[in-house]
Amino acid sequence: MSLVIKGASLLGEETTDLYVDDSGSFVDTAPSGAETIDAEGLVALPGLVDLHTHLREPGREDAETILTGSQAAALGGYTAVLAMANTTPVTDTAEAATRVWELGREAGLVHVQPVGAVTRGLGGEELAELGLMHRSRAGVTVFSDDGKCVHDARVMRRALEYVKAFGGVVSQHSQDPTLAGPAACCHEGELSGRLGLPGWPGIAEEVIVARDVMLARHTGSRVHVAHVSTAGSVEVLRWAKAQARQDGHWDVTAEVTPHHLLLTTDLLTGYDPTFKVNPPLRPQEDVDALREALADGTIDAVATDHAPHARHDKEHAFVDAAFGMLGLETALGVVRTVMEDLSWADIARVMSVTPARIAGLGGQGRVLAPGSPANVVLVDPEADVTVDRDASSSLSRNNPWHGRSLTSRVVHTVYAGRVTVRDGALVQA
């Protein structure tokens, strides 16, 4: 299908027409017989890229499938998502990674890029098939045991050394299990003591971040810090990035979730398991530090950590409920609501351009110009949207934004030249 996107505001600045031919790329002139999208008053951004999505398939199709997660992603303005490895079975082999990649292609709504496990079965002891996953059709370049920390320094060092050979990156869930065990579920402090909830101190994240950036420096490799949640981690990252720029032979990147940019630990006073997430919500001083770090580039990207759960896993007493929140359909609105000083170019940088670079997705996060793949989202910057969890395309309803008003609305999404969302609704293939 060829397209003419009329009157779009590129990154919120100049207004122009965009032309897409039937190869799915931007071209110089309008193709004959093209479908027209009226984009007057809409901001055009490169399609969003999520570094951290849980699609649950295979194994937990009651919570999400690759198809339903892809639908939620497209509605949120995404054209690529990285599917985390903690599925059942774990994505720790070339065959498992290829199957996730194939299911993503069958859904056809976004580029679904598998993340490979760092260790077999997320066990933390033996490296998974890193090289085979990379050489598979899935072309895996990002590896993570997310949900669990690669807590053994020797194993983490070996993983960093291994992926260096092909330019891969290890994404770490930073949680020292000796300081914050599996029961830890509330930021450690006065509130956790008053509520009687097991504490999850910030230092349990910060010591792993500090260790891993030093391991990356030692190995000359790449480490990515998932879902940063504390001011202390920001301090470590600032130092590490300065050192990496000076040394030039290693790299550290980091992401923050929308929920850690806005929600605080005070929400736990009602014991609502919707707000149980790992790492936990933190106090306002941490939230403020995360916002500042995202604005100044210390934190590179926004990643949703979209974590759907079936109701029978989430609707329990707080300590027994599953960790995680939905995020794909609301991420852009949260960022626009919270980070008011970010320009549209900045939003494109942290939600598309930089995530695509970290993940090695050459067809994503590109300038909207002739020769680039037509991955684009068109946003109404003036719209206010009240979130309704029951209107979500996700199979799950653990939505922390229910009833909140967020700024901006995704109107159209175009993936590889195909309109996947038109006027805020999914387009059936």
Q: Is 305 annotated as a binding residue?
A: yes
Distances (CA, A) of 13 to 7, 118, 428: 11, 42, 32
152 among known catalytic residues? no
Q: Which of 50, 300, 305, 380 is catalytic?
A: 305
Four-CA torsion 221, 227, 229, 230, nearest 10 degrees:
0
Distances (CA, A) of 171 to 51, 119, 151, 153, 160: 10, 12, 13, 14, 10
Q: Is 324 annotated as a binding residue?
A: yes
Q: Is 56 annotated as a binding residue?
A: yes
Angstrom distance (rounded) from CA 89 to CA 345: 39
Contacts of 72 (CB under 8 A, 6+ apart): 306, 326, 328, 329, 392, 393, 394
Q: Is 146 annotated as a binding residue?
A: yes
Q: Is 54 annotated as a binding residue?
A: yes
Reference 361, options 141, 103, 163; nearest CA is: 141
Q: Is 52 annotated as a binding residue?
A: yes
| 3-class secondary-structure state, position 134 | helix
Q: Is 341 annotated as a binding residue?
A: no
Distances (CA, A) of 85 to 7, 51, 63: 41, 12, 15
One-letter amino acid for residue 344 of the chain: W
Reference 303, options 55, 82, 46; nearest CA is: 82
Q: Is 218 annotated as a binding residue?
A: no
Q: Is 375 annotated as a binding residue?
A: no
Binding-site positions for substrate read 54-56, 86, 278, 309, 323-324
Catalytic (active-site) positions: 305
Binding-site positions for Zn(2+) read 52, 54, 146, 173, 227, 305
Binding-site positions read 52, 54-56, 86, 146, 173, 227, 278, 305, 309, 323-324
